[in-house]
């Protein structure tokens, strides 16, 4: 896959803050590319520079091999974290209004179907739920049939069901071979949707690759999790563990010997769960702190 966007040594400094510090990566065409990191990591600053709305302090962004120019905006779709929508209009009227801003636009009926807006098409935009509003914003970002669509934390604040519905829409858009650039602090979102990821923390890239590659590279085994207070036996025997949500999590390279160890130390297996390591575990391993702070 050719690289649609190339990010070269990009930095953004505010007076006292280095928001983005000399990052480089490429976004292949047709890929769902994720910028994953905790609050304040520099995701929004990075995506806004890539969208061409924030000037970098230094570095370069190339789209199809060329620096961004004024035509760039006609070919990209942007869903901001906060987008103001005109009051007193219905969903359909809003789509028609925004369609006027572009030289070309997708047929409105196609967008309505793509973004699952059928049931709310005549609704006043002030009466939309969080999930419905995000679907409308996604449709607005898709209006000009962009080559690349930027989604900045699109599911933040949505309930779990609405998040999953939104993921389905992103998968629909992915199947149309669009390139998607997504920022998120939800590791499950990145893992589920993204073909490639950069993990950012404090303005730096700390890891990059496909989610599967990254996990394979850093973990060999499973995570055994148990409720309760068993830290003493683990600490005394130099077993690596984390405490999360009132559970103790042990990274185990051999599940048989780990369970044998627990039984030998009279640790009850009641409530035991086994799961595969995920990107959140990777983030903690790499940085020593939780993704969601
Ligand atoms: N206009 C600004 N002036 C000064 N500092 C800023 C400005 N915008 C962002 N920052 C700082 O730059 C850093 C990165 O912020 P940014 O919003 O890019 O992070 P983020 O990963 O998108 O976080 P969030 O998920 O909370 O939006 C933070 O320390 C933030 O306070």
pLDDT, tens digit (0-9, with 9 covering 90-100), for 69-78:
988 888 899 9
Quote the domain boundaries for residue 238: 220-276
Answer whether 67's CB lies under 8 Å from 61's CB.
Answer: yes
In terms of domains, do 192 and 254 share one?
A: no
Would you state the pLDDT for residue 233? 67
| Whether pTM exceeds 0.90 | no
- Residues 201-230 have a mean pLDDT of 89
In a domain, 66, yes or no: yes
Task: Specify the pairing of strand 18-28 against strand 3-13.
Answer: antiparallel
Could you tell me the sign of the dihedral formed by the alpha carbons of 228, 231, 234, 238, in that order? positive
211: pLDDT confidence band, cut at 50, 70 and 90?
very high
The answer to whether 199 and 43 have CB atoms below 8 angstroms apart is no
The answer to whether the CB of 42 is under 6 A from ligand 1 is: yes
Atom of ligand 1 lying closest to residue 200 CA? 21
Residue nearest to atom 4 of ligand 1 (CA): 14
Q: Tell me, yes or no, whether 288 lies in a domain.
A: no
Distance of CA 236 to the CA centre of its chain: 39
> Is residue 238 a part of any domain in this protein?
yes
* Mutate which of 10, 13, 17 for ligand 1 pocket (most atoms within 8 A of beta carbon): 17
Span from the CA of 253 to the centroid of ligand 1 (angstroms) = 38
Cβ of residue 47 lying under 6 Å from some atom of ligand 1: no
Dist CA 179 CA 289 (whole Å):
31
Same domain, 90 and 17: yes
Of the residues 178, 201, 216, which one is the last residue of a structural domain?
216
For residue 177, how far is its CA from the centre of ligand 1 (angstroms)?
Answer: 31
Ligand 1 pocket member 39 (CB < 6 A): yes
The enclosing domain of 81 has a CATH number of 3.40.50.300
Q: Which atom of ligand 1 is nearest to the CA of 12?
A: 12
DSSP track, 212-273? HHHHHHH--SEEEEEES--HHHHHHTT--EEEETTEEEEEES-HHHHHHHHHHTT---TT-E
What is the reported pLDDT for 244?
Answer: 78
Domain match, 12 and 92 both: yes
* Within a domain: 291: no
Cβ neighbours for 74, distance < 8 A, ≥ 6 positions apart? 102, 103, 144
- Quote the pLDDT of residue 269: 87
Give the residue with greater pLDDT, 61 vs 176: 61
Is residue 94 domain-shared with residue 192, that is, in the same domain? yes
CA of 227 to the centre of ligand 1 (A): 36
Q: Is residue 51 part of a domain?
A: yes
Taking CA atoms, 215 is separated from 21, 212, 276, 285, in Å, by 25, 5, 9, 11
Residue 232: pLDDT band with limits 50, 70, 90: low
Both 250 and 189 in a single domain?
A: no
Last residue of some domain: 216, 233, 251?
Answer: 216
| pLDDT value for 250 | 87
Which CATH number characterizes residue 272's domain?
Answer: 3.30.70
Q: pLDDT per residue over 151-206, tens digit each? A: 999 998 888 888 998 999 999 999 888 999 999 989 889 999 999 999 999 999 99
Q: What ipTM was reported for this prediction?
A: 0.96
Q: How far is the CA of 20 from the centre of ligand 1 (A)?
A: 9
Same domain, 272 and 193: no
Q: Please say whether the beta carbons of 105 and 77 come within 8 A.
A: no
Q: Which atom of ligand 1 is nearest to the CA of 20?
A: 14
Task: Assess whether 196 and 250 both reside in one domain.
Answer: no
| % of the chain residues with pLDDT over 70 | 96
Does residue 227 share a domain with residue 188?
Answer: no
Residue 259 has pLDDT above 80, yes or no: yes
Does 84 score more than 90 pLDDT? no
| 201 and 258 housed in the same domain | no
In a domain, 33, yes or no: yes
Which residue matches tokens 């760039």? 72
**DSSP structure class, residue 168:** H
Ligand 1 in reach of 12 Cβ (< 6 A): no
User: Which one of 20, 38, 43 would you pick to mutate in the ligand 1 pocket, going by the greatest count of ligand atoms within 8 A of its CB?
Assistant: 43
Among 10, 20, 40, 199, which residue has the most ligand 1 atoms within 8 Å of its CB, making it the best to mutate?
40
Residues 62 and 114 placed together within one structural domain of the fold: yes
Residue 293 lies in a domain: no
pLDDT of 142 reads: 92
Q: Is 166 helix (H, G, I), strand (E, B) or coil?
A: helix
Pair (18, 140) in one structural domain: yes
pLDDT tops 90 at residue 251: no
Query: How many domains are there within the chain?
Result: 2
Mean pLDDT confidence for 113-134: 91
Distance CA(89)–CA(82), nearest Å, equals: 18
**Do 66 and 128 belong to one domain?**
yes
* pLDDT (0 to 100) of residue 177: 86
Q: Which of 1-15, 194-208, 242-256 has the lowest mean pLDDT?
A: 242-256
pLDDT of residue 293 exceeding 60: no
Q: Express the helix, strand and coil content of the chain in percent, nearest 5 each.
A: 35, 30, 35
pLDDT at residue 231 above 70? no
C-beta 88 within 6 A of ligand 1: no
Residue 292, pLDDT score: 58
Q: What is the DSSP string of 87-131?
A: TT-BHHHHHHHHHTTSSS---HHHHHHHTT-GGGTTSBGGG--HH
**From ligand 1's centre to the CA of 43, what distance in Å?**
8
Residue 41 reports pLDDT greater than 60: yes
The torsion of the CA quartet 117, 123, 127, 128, rounded to 10 degrees, works out to: 0
Question: 3-state class of 189 per DSSP?
Answer: helix
Q: How many angstroms is it from 44 CA to the middle of ligand 1?
A: 7
Which residues is 13 bridged to in the sheet?
Answer: 18
Residue 76 DSSP class: E
- Would you say the CB of residue 37 lies under 6 angstroms from ligand 1? yes
* Residue 290 resides in a domain: no
């Amino acid at each position: 896959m050719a690289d649609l966007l190339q990010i070269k040594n990009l930095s953004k400094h505010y007076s006292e803050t280095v928001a983005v510090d000399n990052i480089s990566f490429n976004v292949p065409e047709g890929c769902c590319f994720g910028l994953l990191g905790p609050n304040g990591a520099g995701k929004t600053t990075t995506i806004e520079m890539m969208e061409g709305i924030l000037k970098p302090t230094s570095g370069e962004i190339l789209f199809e091999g060329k620096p961004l120019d004024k035509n760039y905006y006609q070919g990209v779709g942007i869903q901001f974290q906060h987008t103001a929508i005109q009051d007193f209009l219905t969903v359909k009227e809003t789509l028609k209004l925004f369609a006027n801003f572009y030289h070309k636009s997708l047929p409105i009926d196609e967008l309505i179907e793509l973004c699952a807006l059928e049931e709310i098409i005549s609704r006043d935009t002030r009466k939309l739920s969080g999930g419905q509003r995000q679907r409308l914003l996604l449709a607005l970002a898709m209006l000009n049939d962009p080559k690349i669509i930027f989604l900045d934390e699109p599911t933040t604040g949505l309930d779990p069901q609405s998040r999953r519905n939104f993921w389905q829409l992103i998968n629909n858009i992915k199947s149309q071979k669009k390139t998607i650039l997504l920022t998120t602090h939800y590791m499950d979102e990145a893992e589920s949707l993204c073909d490639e990821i950069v993990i950012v923390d404090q303005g730096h890239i700390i890891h990059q690759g496909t989610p599967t590659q990254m996990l394979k590279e850093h973990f060999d085994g499973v995570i055994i999790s148990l409720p309760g207070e068993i830290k003493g036996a683990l600490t005394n025997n130099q077993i690596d563990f984390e405490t999360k949500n009132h559970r103790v999590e042990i990274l185990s390279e051999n599940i048989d010997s780990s369970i044998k160890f627990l039984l030998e130390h009279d640790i009850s297996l009641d409530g035991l769960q086994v799961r595969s390591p995920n990107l959140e575990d990777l983030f903690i391993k790499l940085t020593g702190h939780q993704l969601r702070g």
